[in-house]
Amino acid sequence: MNVHDSQKLAGILEHEGYVKASSASRADVILLNTCSIREKAVEKVFSELGRLRALKRSRPELILGVCGCVAQQEGRELFARAPFVDFVMGPRAIGSLASTLSRIREGKSGARRSVDTEYRDDSIEFPVDRIRREGECVAKAFVTVLEGCNHRCTYCVVPMTRGREVCRDMDDVLAEVRQLVGRGTLEVEFLGQTVNAYRDARGRTLADLLRASAEIEGLRRIRFTTSHPAQMTDALMDAMAAAGPTVCPYLHLPVQSGSSTVLRAMRRGHDRDAYLRKIEGLRRRMPGLALGTDFIVGFPSETEKDFDETMSLLDEVRFDTVYSFAYSARPGTAALSLGDRLTPEEKRARLGRLQSRQREIQEQNNRAWIGRDVEVLVEGLDKREGAKWTGRTPENRVVHFAGSSAPGRIEPVRVLAATAYSLQGEPTGTFA
């Protein structure tokens, strides 16, 4: 989502006639698009600002803006720590970037040191042509369908930084997808903090959007992220299963903890059994579905026994991908009042145990693919892999292979080897 926001910011700049500078030291405008989900991400912003301070001192005409969730969270406070910053702009206010920049350049009073942290509902109606989809393979594109979040998980800043949910009209989303397909996009990924809560003003849901987009000719793959377990309804599971192969057999469904006690304290809206019932319902309908999740380790009330339940959930579900994080106390969240009871060492130790068990499971899951033929959407060359082509299967598995190919091609590849994080194979030239 942040990558996509950066693409929107870059698109506005380009539309205003700016071109990309060869380095920060030669830039007229520098924007930091920031994340505040964990303390570490916020620290990164301030250390980056520390590096930019000297540049700004030597070139006062340089315009330096802080955008994204740290901007939203800190607001005017940000100037206290970084007085050389010119403006602060939250994620739902990026539509006003062009006017903010021109006001600063024209020397309008109050333009410098301005703060825009309004939640504009029209922030979601971003002019599609203005998105600079840099950094993505041309065959893949993100498409925002929903902004904000109406949940109140007790550890999370997102509802404060991104505001309440607003959904785009389904016809606008479909028009964007058609436009992208016309330009060579083969895969779209629908984005929303709780993308499966999508419901437009006419009551059309993500299930409707999946059904309608699966019919767009030329579109080969549809993904969506992130789904909330509480909104993973039977109707949506049925729609996923019925939409056919265009809807990729991969679902990211964050659970956060294996302990129902911790889930209650997190106010997640699901307990362990409810989550497992969702997984069972998904696998019954889609036996080949690959699953990803997120875990937070070391939530303030998490006991050793609670953590054991997280470990046992790993074995019970055998996820294909897991993102795991040490709990980070965030300003303004309900869990802040619980304190941060585990030491960093304790959290690190639990995280280490979780990650090492998950590595074993992932390696076993991936090894089961050896000998099978897979369809890879090629994203580019991976230098770390000895300049091999890299891409993903519909199940979201990363595949590396040698031979002739090009970004944006869909290649048939036979899997020859596997690690916990990727598959290695050789192109077969033809689909079986």
Binding site for ligand SAM (CB under 6 A): 37-38, 155-156, 158, 193-194, 226, 228, 254, 256, 294, 296, 325, 327-328, 330
Nearer to ligand SF4, 153 or 297 (CB): 153
Is the CB of residue 247 less than 8 Å from the CB of residue 214?
Answer: yes
Q: Which amino acid is at 401?
A: F
What is the closest distance, in whole angstroms, from the C-beta atom of residue 254 to ligand SAM in the complex?
3
Q: What is the H or E stretch that residue 20 is in?
A: none
The nearer residue to ligand SF4, 5 or 411, going by C-beta atoms, is: 5
223 binds, among ligand SAM, ligand SF4, none (CB under 5 to 8 A by kind): none
The secondary structure of residue 225, as a DSSP letter, is E
Residue among 224 and 369 whose Cβ is closer to ligand SAM: 224
- Give the residue, chosen from 65, 90, 159, 425, that forms a contact with ligand SF4 under the rule CB under 6 A: 159
Name the residue type at position 169.
D
Binding mask 162-201 for ligand SF4 (x = CB under 6 A): -------------------------------xx-------
**Which one of ligand SAM, ligand SF4, none is in contact with 255 (Cβ closer than 5 to 8 A by kind)?**
none
Residue 409 contacts residue 397 (beta carbons within 8 Å): no
Closest separation in Å from C-beta 267 to ligand SF4: 8
Q: How far is CA 257 from its chain centroid? A: 20
Min separation Cβ 149 and ligand SF4, Å: 3
Query: Closest separation between CB of residue 406 and ligand SF4, Å?
Result: 37
Residue 405 has what DSSP assignment? -
**Which of ligand SAM, ligand SF4, none does 294 bind, CB closer than 5 to 8 A by kind?**
ligand SAM
Q: Given candidates 156, 247, 314, 399, which one binds ligand SF4 under the rule CB under 6 A?
A: 156
Q: Say whether residue 207 binds ligand SF4 (CB under 6 A).
A: no
Which among ligand SAM, ligand SF4, none contacts residue 205 (Cβ within 5 to 8 A by kind)?
Answer: none
Report which DSSP code applies to 384: G
Single-letter residue type at 208: D
Give the sign of the dihedral formed by CA 147, CA 152, CA 158, CA 164. Answer: positive
Stretch that binds ligand SF4, among 145-153, 280-288, 311-319, 386-394 (CB under 6 A): 145-153
- Shortest Å, Cβ 293 to ligand SAM: 8
Beta carbon nearer to ligand SAM, 38 or 400: 38
Query: How many Å apart are CA 187 and CA 175, to the nearest integer?
Result: 15
Is residue 66 within 8 A of residue 78, CB to CB? The reply is: yes
Cβ within 8 Å of residue 189, ≥6 positions away: 140, 141, 142, 143, 222, 223, 224, 225
By CB under 6 A, what part of segment 224-243 binds ligand SF4?
228
Query: 85 near 65, Cβ under 8 Å?
Result: yes
Total of chain residues touching ligand SF4, rule CB under 6 A? 9
Residue 427, beta-bridge partner list: 413
151 binds ligand SF4 (CB under 6 A): yes
Cβ-based nearer residue to ligand SF4, 156 or 342: 156
Burial (CB < 10 A; 0-12, 13-18, 19+), residue 208, is middle
CB-based contact 408:133 (threshold 8 Å): no
Q: How far is CA 317 from CA 14, 311, 361, 362, 397, in A?
A: 45, 10, 10, 11, 17
Question: Is 206 a binder of ligand SF4 (CB under 6 A)?
Answer: no
Task: Write down the least CB distance from residue 71 to ligand SF4, Å.
Answer: 18
β-pairing, 290-297 with 321-326?
parallel
Per partner kind, with CB cut-offs from 5 to 8 A, the member of ligand SAM, ligand SF4, none near residue 42 is none
**DSSP at 24:** G
Residue 6 found at the interface with ligand SF4 (CB under 6 A)? no
Give the interface with ligand SF4 as residue ranges (CB under 6 A).
149, 151, 153, 156, 158-159, 193-194, 228
